[in-house]
Structure 1
Amino acid sequence: MFRQFWPYIDAYLQHYFIEFIKPQLRTLIPKDLQPFRVKHFDMGDIPCQIGKLKMYNNKDDDTKIIIDMDFNYSGNAKFKVNIRGFDAGANEITLKGKLRCYLTPLISSDPPFFGGISFAFMELPKFKFNLTGIGDFFEYPGLSKTIQSIADLQLANCCVFPNKFVIPMAPSNIDLTDLYFPEPDGMIRIKIIEGKNLDTKDSLIRQSKSDPFCAVQVGAQMFKTKTDKHCLNPKFSECFEAVVDDGSCQRLQIEIFDEDKIGFDEDLGHISIPLNGVKDKGTIQDWAKLEGCKSGEIHYKLQWYQLSKNQELLGHQKWDSEWRRANNPIYSALVMVYIDRIEGLPDQTSKGVLPSPFIECSIGKRRQRSLTYENTTDPAVHTSFTFFLENSESQTLNLSAIDEGTQNLLGELEIPLSDVTNESEMELYQVKKYLTHESYKKSTIILTVRVRAFKPCEIDETDPWTFNEADERASVETASLEENVSLPKHSETASESSGDGGKTAEPGKTVRMENNESKLQLEAHRFNIGPKLPKTQKILDVLFQRNKHSKKKNYDNQNCAQLNFNLKLDSEASKIIVTIIKVK
């Protein structure tokens, strides 16, 4: 199907690139790479591939259909530019990621029985390319990394949660606000507390030291801690807040880097945390071992908040007290703005050339801007803005339409947020307002404004995954298993000499059973362990291939060695984590 569609998809993407992406490149390309001009762009004749489709049947929500799929493009796309008089380009372009599609709203009056399609990558996809052109030019310091960061930013702004790519399909009389502007699933508060035993990357300059900082990402939302100089056990204590569009599929990415003022920051490790677990449990605080490195752990805390329409919850609440002790400020409300369209902007040019407007949205000193809409006085904007705020009722929302070429103001509007919070649902839905201009008639703007307070999830005190806020580490029961082990003599001697005073590994989390038992019960089997540990596959065979041990054997547990360990299955990463706690 995609092979037959591909020429039409290519034509559409070329139009989209010229109309929306190309104007943004002028503002993103650094001045020392100007002038920058796009000469040619096409997607080639090799289509993308779609695989592993999964549909969700949500009986509680009959307004949309959800489909997940793997997206893979490894084609012969061509991209040619001129940078400072040099012809250059890119080929061998690959793009891989996991897409989530929504068919919504479902309607009964007209085929195809849904209003439109929206899709987004759950997290930033893997985008790679090969630069082509004059060899000496591409030795320009940092050029490849600059282009990569610009491409990642454009992808994030277009189609990574919370941003979506939307294709309307319904008749004009169908309200598609929920397609363009759905209510987020919730908000997550992130506290990066500290790290320990990090790898050293500056050993040639300073012995056993690094300059670590932490990068946090939820979809297209990216945050960065301050750098803790010359240490391997950094203390961050910084908080961040992120909107979560869909907690069932999104993940939190935490990466630690060694800052380098001259070259590139070096990776010190990373972890990926599925947010559906945070949503289910309310609060998680844990130490996690970093992946992709020799050593290192990160201590973090996560808390899930529902978005509430209750005006009484605006402002800081008692549950914010711990978070307010962090180095970063935290906020008490979320303001979301959706601009549907604008009609009748002024044409200020004497030759009748239409303006190329963009919309700037600001609250106080915080500003965000939309894409540029080329040569139009009636832009179909379909753009949303999100702000975290304190004291939202005393703030004012400011909207301005500005011509990209001349930077002339085409119209402006002020909306006190108290007008929004005084509404029963704390929302102005698809209201008609007017952008005022000194020498022109009023321009019409259709927009929706929402204010939401934060409310933490109900916490189950009996849940072994729930963490005590006063504790730096979790206190959870550990799963145990007694096994009859035949140990070599040197191992027995080492075990006896260590005694109970020896240090043990950090206990893992309990595997939760359907019958609410707190311990993982497994059938006992004989392990014959020599001086070397058995291969991983042998361990998995012993644990999960019960047909090799069909008869249950009883052992004298008083006279045999005992092994205490935890099992944790990470289905998303396709791995099983075994934590060895104690041997005696």
Structure 2
Amino acid sequence: GVVRVHVLEAEDLKAMDTVMMGLGKGKSDPYTVLMVGNQRFRTKTIKETLNPKWNEVYEFVVHEAPGQQLEVELYDEDTDKDDFMGRFSLDFGVVKQEKVIDKWYTLQQIEKGKIHLKLQWLSLQTDHELLKEPTGGCACAMLAIYLDSASNLPKDLNELSQLDKHGKHPKEMKLTRRQNNPNSYVKFSVGQQSQKSKVMLAEKKNSLGTLTLPLMRLLNASDLTLDQCFQLERSGSNSQLKMKAILR
């Protein structure tokens, strides 16, 4: 499933920036860090307050609930080193059971402070009729891409460029082995967001081909899933990318 986390506000935080000679009350410049495995998000910093209001929303893909945990940490932003302001953790199994939790959480490993979060459990569905226009910057669906392999990619990029000009076909290669210093990857882009796959095989840092997959094809596909080989553009005559695309 997907957990939507609303980071609303915090209050009664510890003053980390002390005032000289004891004149006036100390303040902090707090921000929140949310972590689930290797997924990490950070809120904006609210200047000079012990009761910040963020009203920000983040979403995490959860594979195991119970099992995976949300780790929340607060910091005071500083010019040299940011100061720790407390933390707490929550197992997503609780969110899955309750569906919606709107609660103040007391910060741990610090003398004082609490944070207000709203958490929603969103189940993944296969009915496209349930898809709605996104509101408030939230996602309306999740796109999962499972890369399998690439085949018959161009062997020589310079040769590819020259032969394309003359309407000829370049030599092709199969990606069948790992190399010592890999730097090839697949880059995904949806709207303004992009993501790279893990580095697997070594080639020059140039494009070996492109693929454009309209999401409308997924909406019309059985079970909102496409599992096949896709012909690459601006590549070899038989260059293909095998992958599985799932919309939920």
TM-score if structure 2 supplies the norm length? 0.84
Aligned to 1:249: 67
Contact 1:436/1:442, CA 8 A, preserved across alignment: no
Query: Which amino acid in 2 is paired with 1:343?
Result: S
Query: Which amino acid in 2 is paired with 1:449?
Result: A
Is 1:201 equivalent to 2:28 in the alignment? no
Aligned to 1:445: 241
Distance 1:443 1:225 in 2: 42
Distance 2:116 2:189 in 1: 35
Query: Residue 358 of structure 1: SS of its match in structure 2?
Result: coil
Query: Residue 185 of structure 2: SS of its match in structure 1?
Result: strand
Quote how far apart the aligned CAs of 1:356 are. Answer: 5.0
Aligned to 2:53: 235
Q: Which has the larger radius of gyration?
A: 1
Contact 2:157/2:208, CA 8 A, preserved across alignment: no
Quote how far apart the aligned CAs of 1:196 are. Answer: 0.7
Quote how far apart the aligned CAs of 1:204 are. Answer: 4.2
Query: Residue 421 of structure 1: SS of its match in structure 2?
Result: helix
Is 1:435 equivalent to 2:243 in the alignment? no
Query: Residue 200 of structure 2: SS of its match in structure 1?
Result: coil
Aligned to 1:367: 194
Match of 1:346 among 135, 150, 154: 154
Matches within 5 A, 1:327-342: 329-342=137-150
Aligned to 1:140: none
Aligned to 1:418: 216
Distance 1:373 1:274 in 2: 33
Distance 1:412 1:240 in 2: 30
Contact 1:311/1:421, CA 8 A, preserved across alignment: yes
Contact 2:10/2:115, CA 8 A, preserved across alignment: yes
Aligned to 2:31: 213
Aligned to 1:287: 104
Q: How far does the alpha carbon of each residue in 1:80-134 deviate from its partner, in whole angstroms, 9 at most, with x for none?
A: xxxxxxxxxxxxxxxxxxxxxxxxxxxxxxxxxxxxxxxxxxxxxxxxxxxxxxx
Query: Residue 97 of structure 2: SS of its match in structure 1?
Result: helix
Query: Which amino acid in 2 is paired with 1:342?
Result: A
Query: Which amino acid in 1 is paired with 2:237?
Result: K
Structure with greater proportional helix content: 1
Aligned to 1:308: 125
Higher RCO (Cα < 8 Å, 6 or more apart): 2
Q: How far does the alpha carbon of each residue in 1:505-525 deviate from its partner, in whole angstroms, 9 at most, with x for none?
A: xxxxxxxxxxxxxxxxxxxxx
TM-score if structure 1 supplies the norm length? 0.37
Match of 1:226 among 44, 48, 52: 44
Is 1:191 equivalent to 2:6 in the alignment? yes
Q: How far does the alpha carbon of each residue in 1:473-513 deviate from its partner, in whole angstroms, 9 at most, with x for none?
A: xxxxxxxxxxxxxxxxxxxxxxxxxxxxxxxxxxxxxxxxx
Quote how far apart the aligned CAs of 1:272 are. Answer: 0.5
Contact 2:35/2:71, CA 8 A, preserved across alignment: yes
Distance 1:251 1:194 in 2: 20
Change beyond 3 A, Cα 1:238–1:412: same
Change beyond 3 A, Cα 1:230–1:350: closer
Aligned to 1:489: none
Distance 1:412 1:298 in 2: 45
Matches within 5 A, 1:539-550: none
Unaligned runs of at least 5 residues, structure 2: 160-170, 172-178
| Structure 1 residue runs of 4 or more that deviate by more than 3 Å after TM superposition | 204-207, 349-352
Query: Which amino acid in 1 is paired with 2:95?
Result: V
Unaligned runs of at least 5 residues, structure 1: 1-185, 376-402, 453-584
Distance 1:252 1:217 in 2: 6
Query: Which amino acid in 2 is paired with 1:450?
Result: I
Quote how far apart the aligned CAs of 1:421 are. Answer: 1.1
**Aligned-residue identity in percent:** 32
Distance 2:26 2:157 in 1: 63
Distance 1:374 1:446 in 2: 16
Distance 1:418 1:244 in 2: 25
Number of residue pairs aligned between Structure 1 and Structure 2: 226
Distance 1:302 1:316 in 2: 20
Change beyond 3 A, Cα 1:347–1:254: same
